[in-house]
Chains A and B, each alone.
Chain A
Amino acid sequence: MHIIKHIILILSLVPVASTAQNSSMDSEEINQFQEEIAQKAGSTNTIKGEFVQKKQLAFLQNEIQSSGRFFYASPDKIKWSYLQPYSYEVIFRNHKLFIDNEGEQSSIDIGNNELFGKLNQLIINSINGKMLQNKNFETTYEQNAEFVVAKLLPTDPVVLKLFREIILTFDKTTYEIHRVMLVEPAGDDTQIFFTKLKTNVPIDDSVFEF
């Protein structure tokens, strides 16, 4: 048993090769990718899809998972509908936050809150691709066979207190957002995976109202 414990310990220290090794991108590849993303962002009026959210806390062995649907309409309307494991909806619209928590509705004016305004814009721009144009981040790029991975380090001290790194993973073929990963100062992280994305489909304004 003692020997087995030693073997397990040694194996846990050996880095396991990733099945999707990332490689660097040269400046030409980066410029081309940024242009494609900017073009797509410029021509995107609506996005809808599904998401799975996974939260990893350092002191837990298990992830905390939730899932639902989201809707986005340019320039700044977004609705998150959490469907599992609880019902929770939040709509950002006209500098206001509207919440439906298991049927109980409320609203908050976020116009004067700098911190929350930044958080709201960060989420929206991560989905519509405009995040890569944000000068308040230092961005590096990597790629593998399927994805381009952009790592954004905040330079804004307000955002830095919330997140130490934001990682955006884009599908290399469609330039759609595949995953947003928010890494917090203490190392906890939240990953949001997007699926069934549909761009520029009609989304009725009533979707952004309760």
Chain B
Amino acid sequence: MNPYALTIAQAKQLLTKKEASAEELVRSCMERIEAVDDSVNAVVHRNFDGALAQAKKVDSHPEEFGELAGIPYLAKDVFCEKGVPTTACSPILQNPTYTPPYSSTVTRLLEASGAISLGKVNTDEFTMGASTETSAYGPTHNPWDVSRVAGGSSGGSAAAVAADECLFALGTDTGGSIRQPAGFCNVAGIRPTYGRVSRFGVMSMASSLDTIGPLCKTVEDTAIVLEAIAGKDPQDATTIDRPVPRYTEALQKGIKGLRIGVPREYFAEGLHADVESSVREAIRTLEKEGALIEEISLPLTKYAIATYYVICPCEVSSNMARYDGIRFGLHSEASDSLHSQYVQTRSRGFGTEVQRRILIGTYALSAGYYDAYYRKALQVRALIVREFTEAFEKVDAIVGPVSPTPAFKVGAHEGDPVAMYLEDAFLTAQPMAGIPCMSIPCGMSTDGLPIGLQIMAPQWHEETVLQTAYAFERVTDWHTKKPML
């Protein structure tokens, strides 16, 4: 097998037995990127020299590193990495290209563990989108059908893993941005509990909703990476001081007797027939593995998108205020006033979707509208939290589809922002409640497009999510399928 096609678990075995070196893994991924990325367009900044230098260090002193020693990865273009261009795929962080003078906490943890950064992958601009089409570098193409999107905003991350350009990738999930592209590209992607993984050094979108997570080829790989990056960070006050379980050791527990809820609202009109049949078949598989399935109701599901698309733009409007061409970012022609400097930089530097969300957020927070929009949305958020809490009194986990349809065509939602927002139908309630959830491959449409299964659990119950995913993966082979590139 080509080294680039290995899973993390397989590569670790070969590295331990000295049957492969970190340098070989890195060179194999580099060659793979050169071979396929013209059609996929996942990689936006290459760090090949840095990767080879790190690989040599790991090969000569493996004892100095940890569980991910020698494993090459790609990071979404929002993870600050010292000396590597990081631009959120936005023109406002280019000309001059922003090259961070420090690394995010997750980048530092991975470096200490011995993982090797190959560079940065594509995202919707400032992670705002569900298709990676708003990137300044153009859309990422789905390796399963390059006329279709890879999903978003972690489309580059998902496509890169699906195309074997790396052994894992880092993504962020604010309103579905790990789970949806993972589902579209046939890879595993987890959104951990809010506060499980440090966001320090990761360019923020919506601070009460953003989470960091890995996209991987298998559930076991997901557990390995999550173990390496989870934990309290004094530099991120929203991380919680809870011990990080050995997720890898918890995988085999099985799901006998696990009560799994299936929300009827996730199977309403508009769900693609192949998505419904694949997900229902997956639920039958879980039942065969011993889970107790019961139908539940989450009536607030239909309000989740609206709640998200008030809270998220409001927080965005605050987080985007720092991009003013002063401390970093786009160089503007000499202005005669600070005000016009701001306006010029921001108007030229931000794309349409980013500007749209800033405007909505600014409006919804402004005097006269704050109560009707923002305050109201925060109240509905409280109700969504309560709805999940009550549901988890009756069941241990909840499963359902990831997206209403498989991957759509590039350009399908052009000019129709609301249609794009509706892609997040099943993905925005969980961020409201801060609960962990995951997408794993569970089927293919008649067109040969991947379909994902979403698994949710209460806060801090990542083991339940991973155990359920592992139990399904163990007796199926959807995750082993690869696109033809």
Q: Report whether chain A binds chain B.
A: no
Report A's interface with B, CB cutoff 8 A: none
Report B's interface with A, CB cutoff 8 A: none
